[in-house]
Amino acid sequence: MAQEHPFAPYVRILGKGPTLSRPLTFEETKAAAAMILAGQVEPVQLGAFLCLLRVKTETPDEVAGFVAAARQAVAAASTPPKADLDWSSYAGKSRQLPWFLLSALLLASHGIRVFMQGPEDHTAGRLYSRAALETLGIKAATSLAEAGRQLDSRCFSFMALENLSPGLNAMLGLKPLLGLRTPLHTIGRMLNPLRAPSAMVSVFHPAYRGVHQQAANMLGDHRLAVFKGEGGEAERRPEKPCLVQMSVEGAMSEEEWPAILAESAQPHETDMNPARLSALWKGDLDDAYAQATVTGTAAIALRVMGRAGSVAEAQKLADDMWAKRSRNWLGA
């Protein structure tokens, strides 16, 4: 009789049926994820594991356990540099340009060290951050050492998931095979591989906001803001109120951010040319929606970082930063 594979118990816990199956604990998920990232799991086991997690939806313990294992794997490979703010970018944009990139760069231009990470090209028809940043003259780092040099020189770095965590990136690419969104979208958003004290996280589905909050507390993360962003990216829609849920030093809270612009149906962009990002920064493009998106999103980051004591104060600070930006700082 064949000996049971060491990973089999984790699949069994999730898949024993409606009465006997249960969620994994934090420690169980961390152990299972460590085996996956070490390449100690058979493909059929990985597919079953990810699908079972997806069918029942991930619990905070499962998200936190997986993230903890992924962070350990990243740190074991190379010493992470220091960052002030982690900004995950996993969705790509299809209806609006990724104006949030200018929000992150606005903070960087004022000395805040912003690290951004995410995949590229996993869904057709979307503009991903790496490609958009390249049009601005910002190349992705291919190692943590290079990311550190970029943070030292410009206070901003983007690193593709394939270089940051090949194991996570491979799992993200299983969607065309499985036919399902994998839990990696949730886990990757929480990765914060440099252990920055503050993080910006977006969700497609509002129900996941609380999952991220609770997972952040389990991981001991200091400050996290999570909200439903435009197209799934951490980008505020300025014509809509925005519920921002935060976890700050273990305390969970939420704030309703009012609309910046008069609410109306914002049409999809007909011109997704990322060169317009540079034009807005340099003042060559007059677009009230885009500017409000940039400052409104930056305001959320400033608020979660503790740089502003209220929503109104955060928005004013972001508006002032935009007005005082160096138009030559962005070279492209």
pLDDT, tens digit, 9 for 90 and up, residues 170-185: 998 888 888 888 888 8
CA-to-CA dists, residue 293 to 103, 152, 297, 320, angstroms: 8, 27, 6, 14
Q: What kind of architecture, by CATH, is found in domain 85-323?
A: 3-Layer(aba) Sandwich (3.40)
Whole-angstrom distance, CA of residue 146 vs CA of residue 142: 7
pLDDT of residue 206: 85
Residue 28: is its pLDDT beyond 90? yes
Q: Please tell me which residue, 229 or 18, carries the higher pLDDT value.
A: 229
User: By the 8 A CB rule, do 29 and 52 touch?
Assistant: no
Q: Which two tokens stand for residue 174?
A: 């299983």
* Alpha helices for the chain (secondary structure H): 8-15, 26-37, 43-56, 60-77, 100-109, 129-135, 144-154, 161-164, 166-172, 175-178, 184-189, 208-219, 275-282, 288-304, 311-323
pLDDT of residue 265: 58
User: By the 8 A CB rule, do 75 and 253 touch?
Assistant: no
Q: Which residues does 229 contact at the CB level (< 8 Å), separation at least 6? A: 91, 100, 202, 203, 235, 236, 237
Give the three-class secondary structure for 296.
Answer: helix
Residue 253: alpha-carbon gap to chain centroid = 20
Q: Which of these CATH numbers, 1.10.1060.10, 1.10.3720.10, 3.30.70.100, 1.20.970.10, describes 8-77? A: 1.20.970.10
**What number is the average pLDDT over the span 128-147?**
95
Mind listing the pLDDT tens digit for each residue in 224-283? 999 999 999 999 999 999 999 999 999 999 999 999 998 765 666 767 889 999 999 999
Whole-angstrom distance, CA of residue 323 vs CA of residue 93: 26
Whole-angstrom distance, CA of residue 8 vs CA of residue 30: 15
pLDDT of residue 1: 65
Mind listing the pLDDT tens digit for each residue in 186-221? 999 999 999 999 999 999 888 899 999 999 999 999
Give the three-class secondary structure for 118.
Answer: strand
Mean pLDDT of the chain: 93
Q: Would you place residue 122 in the very low, low, confident or very high pLDDT band (cuts 50, 70, 90)?
A: low
Q: Where in the chain is the domain with CATH 3.40.1030.10?
A: 85-323
Q: What is the largest CA-CA distance in the chain?
A: 72
Residue 49: is its pLDDT beyond 90? yes
Residue 299: is its pLDDT beyond 90? yes
Residue 76: alpha-carbon gap to chain centroid = 21
Phi-psi region at 109: left, alpha or beta (left = phi > 0; alpha = psi -120 to 50)? alpha
Whole-angstrom distance, CA of residue 199 vs CA of residue 228: 15
pLDDT of residue 262: 86
Whole-angstrom distance, CA of residue 293 vs CA of residue 280: 12
What letter does residue 141 receive in the DSSP assignment? Answer: B
pLDDT of residue 176: 84
Query: CA nearest 156: which of 177, 137, 175?
Result: 137
Pairing of strands 223-228, 251-257: unpaired
Element (H, E) at 200: strand 198-203
**What number is the average pLDDT over the span 15-43?**
95
Q: Please tell me which residue, 296 or 208, carries the higher pLDDT value.
A: 296
Pairing of strands 223-228, 242-248: antiparallel
Q: Where in the chain is the domain with CATH 1.20.970.10?
A: 8-77
pLDDT of residue 166: 92
> What percent of the chain lies above the pLDDT cut of 70?
96
Q: Would you place residue 125 in the very low, low, confident or very high pLDDT band (cuts 50, 70, 90)?
A: confident
Pairing of strands 156-160, 242-248: unpaired
Mind listing the pLDDT tens digit for each residue in 60-98? 999 999 999 999 999 988 889 999 999 999 999 988 999
Amino acid at 304: V
